[in-house]
């Protein structure tokens, strides 16, 4: 079952307390390295403005702050107040005064007008209408700015029992087989100019990076995939 917004809020409201602890398991699988690689691919410079879509408890914030420097700006957006509360604790503990956290739906939340970069980690694959979010972000990316997306996908060559096991393990985070058809990289690579695309974890995860080179290339197919 694909979750509605209210259901997503409940799921991540429950998991906020142990979410960071659960990330340790994923870091052992190399996810932390993939996060860093995704953010490195944005080519952010000091003074840049970047948005973290579905920022959760703020796992990306330290890396983003380091790259934009004290004169830059980091905007994190998430649907879950409980997850954002954890992120705000992280911001306060580190004294980051150039980080702004916003609670809202990625489809309607305010975005900075001129973005030097955007990143989404394990967020867009939970949105059936992700193409709408991608288009909104693409409209605000300056020429040369990049969008990096890191997420889970259904592996093409895994046996069914192993896929079912992976879904069971990730069920506390709202994952179900119904999300297999959600492929955000299609919208990103159709609306922007592809830079790189890589699968890892034996095809169970992906990282795509694309760049804005001018007016976005709107297509009808990205709305239906």
How far is CA 221 from each of CA 55, 129, 178, 193, rounded to the nearest angstrom? 27, 13, 20, 16
Distance separating alpha carbons of residues 188 and 206, to the nearest angstrom: 13
Residue 211, φ and ψ in degrees, nearest 5: -130, 145
CB 204 within 8 Å of CB 180: no
The number of beta carbons lying within 10 Å of the beta carbon of residue 43 is: 17
Give the pLDDT of the chain (225 residues) as one tens digit per residue: 666 777 777 777 777 777 777 777 777 777 889 999 999 999 999 999 999 999 999 999 999 999 999 999 999 999 999 999 999 999 999 999 999 999 999 999 999 989 999 999 999 988 888 999 999 999 999 999 999 999 989 888 899 999 888 888 887 777 777 778 889 999 999 999 999 999 999 998 999 999 998 655 544 333 333
pTM of the complete model beyond 0.85: yes
How far is CA 144 from each of CA 35, 43, 178, 213, rounded to the nearest angstrom? 21, 10, 35, 6
Domains and CATH numbers, the chain: 5-223 (3.40.50.150)
């Amino acid at each position: 079952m694909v979750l509605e917004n209210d259901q997503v809020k409940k799921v991540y409201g429950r998991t906020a307390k142990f979410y960071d602890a659960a990330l340790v398991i994923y870091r052992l699988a190399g996810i932390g390295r993939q996060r860093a690689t995704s953010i490195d691919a944005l080519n952010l410079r000091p003074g840049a403005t970047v948005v973290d879509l579905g920022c959760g408890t703020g796992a990306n914030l330290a890396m983003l702050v380091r790259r934009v420097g004290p004169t830059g700006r980091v905007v994190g957006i998430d649907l879950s107040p409980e997850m954002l509360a954890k992120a705000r604790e992280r911001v306060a503990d580190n004294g980051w005064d150039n980080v702004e956290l916003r609670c809202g739906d990625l489809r309607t939340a305010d975005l900075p007008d001129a973005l030097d970069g955007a990143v989404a980690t394990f967020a867009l694959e939970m949105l059936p209408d992700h193409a709408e979010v991608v288009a909104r972000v693409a409209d605000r990316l300056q020429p040369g700015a990049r969008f990096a997306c890191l997420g889970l996908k259904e592996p093409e060559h895994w046996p069914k029992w192993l896929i079912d096991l992976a879904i069971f393990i990730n069920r506390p985070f709202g994952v179900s087989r119904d999300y297999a058809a959600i492929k955000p990289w299609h919208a990103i690579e159709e609306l922007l100019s592809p830079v790189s695309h890589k699968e890892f974890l034996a095809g169970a995860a992906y990282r795509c990076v694309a760049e804005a080179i001018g007016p976005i290339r709107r297509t009808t197919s990205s709305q239906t995939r």
